[in-house]
Structure formats: structure tokens, C-alpha cells
Amino acid sequence: MTRPEQLTPEFRALSAKLGQDPLRVQGPGGNTSIKDGNVMWIKASGTELAEAETSDIFIAVDRKAALAEVHGAGDGSCKATVIDPTISLRPSIETTFHAALDWPVVVHTHSVATIMHAISPEGRAAATEKLSDLPALSVPYRKPGLPLTLEILRRLTPETQVIILENHGLICCGRTVAETNELIEEVERRLSLPARDLSGEVDRPAPDGTEWATRATGLATDRRCFDLARTGSYYPDHVVFLGPALPTSGADPERPVHLVEGHGAAIRTDATASQRAMLQCLADVFARLPEDWTVEPIGPTAEADLLNWDAEKYRQALAERS
């Protein structure tokens, strides 16, 4: 029994609100879940939280079966835990940590304010101080899915409701939708920093097959942003949808975005909505990054793990259809 009544209007509304805010979620990123007993509804992989009130983006999974995958009875994909065998969608690649967190409502976002702190050693220290009176913890970067779940469980306490995922994002948990929403808003308020304007018009034609992403011009004209963008990638969804780092002009015409130094960010005219959202996310993160904070990319090994992962190829394929 899937118990669709768990998908309350309040839960759908919160999911949609987060999905429609590019400073919280970009494209098919992020996921939400609600559970009661052994039934957990979770966002399907590749779907968009923005459509939570208008489309069937959630699927019911057997929470006990998902927990069994956490402990070795499966590959961690949780595809076998879907209760309705006629459903063709897959559960989120993060289903294992949603099942393992013993709170009725769990929300995972790719919050720009959180990412900006979580990619920097100084930012992580600042976040720890800003959230010191909340039931919060920080978890080192691990590949999304089962490796991340196991790292969370190594550090989790029964009281934990806020989890900062280094080089990844934010998890907030609560007893109710309202409580979880209040916690999300409090964390966002505390981690918010002012943004510089990285937008700008470009006074030359875009390279063939591309157009200028004028809201992200500063990625090519601001020296620090340019150096960071072309030398590393800092969180999983950037790699999944844009590839590792960003190439410069002429380096790889097959990539969806390249930077023309001193001029702008050229994005292919056939780029997907998800690729466009991830380019803007990078600009939004760098626009808020304090000048005296250093940053740490996830590195080539982590990038290769994401690029060669079947779960992410599936999500990319769904994004290309939208």
C-alpha cells in the first residue's frame, strides 16, 4: 500500500517553493521525502521539485528495504524498493540517507548560501560558528548515494536536524513540514551573504552555435572567478551537467559552456535548461564568495566517479528530454 495521503498539500507546496527558487535548487537537483511507518515518498530521480504541485514527481518506497540497502542488502540505488512495480521512474539517488534519517520530513537542497560556505575551509568554519546553537553537523564530501549516506551515519546523532554537506549542499529534517520549513529558513538567513553583480552585456558576437549568458559574464571578466571556474569543479551537479571545470574558448567545442576570457560565458544555443541553471548557480556561488576565503574543488577522481556513474547518466538523459 503506497499511502498517497502522505503527500499532503503542505509537503508538495514546500517542495515546489524550494524547486522554484534557483538559490535553493537548480533544475533536477535536490530532493524531498515524507515518511510514516514503512512507507516513504521521495522525489524521483531526474524530476524537478518545481513541479511538485503539478506533476507526479514522487514515488513510494519500502523504507525497511531501503535501510537494508544501507547495510549491504543491495547496491544502494534503491530501485528494488519501489512499492508499485508498474512505476518506471527510479527513486532519487539519495534515497538511502532519506530512509536512514529518522525524521518524518527530510529536505535536501543545493542551497547557494550553503554551497558557498561548504566549498571553503574558512566558509565551513564560519558555518559551524553561525549554526553553533542548532542541532547541526558537517559531513566531508563523499560521492552522492550510498557513500554519502554511510558518512552521514558515522557522524549522526538522534538530535541532528541540520547537515552541511561539504562541496554539495544542505539537509534539514523535522517532525512536520512547517518545522522543517522554519529550520530551512533559519539556516538560509544565517548563511546568507551579499552578492556582487556578475552580469554584463558583451560587446562582440558570440562564437558560432553559442549565445552569451549575460547573467554570468563575470565568470569570464572577473579574474578570480575566471581562475576558479576554469581550474576546478566544486559540487556534484556542476560536473553532471557542465562537466569538470569550465573550458576556455576553443578548448572543447562539444562542452555546453566555455569562457571567453575578458568577454563572457558562451553557452551553446541547444543547451538544456539544467545546463543553463547550473551555469547560473556557479555565478551565484562565486558572486557571494568572500575575497579572503580559499576554495577546494572536489578533484579529478571525484569528477570521474560522477561522469562514469549510471545513475547520473540516467538523470542527464531525463534532463535532455525536458
pTM over 0.75: yes
The pLDDT score that the predictor gives to residue 312 is 54
The pLDDT score that the predictor gives to residue 253 is 78
Mean pLDDT by 10 residues, the chain (322 residues): 92 98 97 97 97 97 97 92 93 97 98 98 98 98 97 97 98 98 98 98 95 98 98 96 91 88 96 97 98 97 88 54 54
The pLDDT score that the predictor gives to residue 249 is 80
The pLDDT score that the predictor gives to residue 171 is 98
Domains of the chain: 4-191 (3.40.225.10), 210-321 (no CATH)
The pLDDT score that the predictor gives to residue 321 is 53
The pLDDT score that the predictor gives to residue 318 is 52
CB atoms within 10 A of CB 129: 9
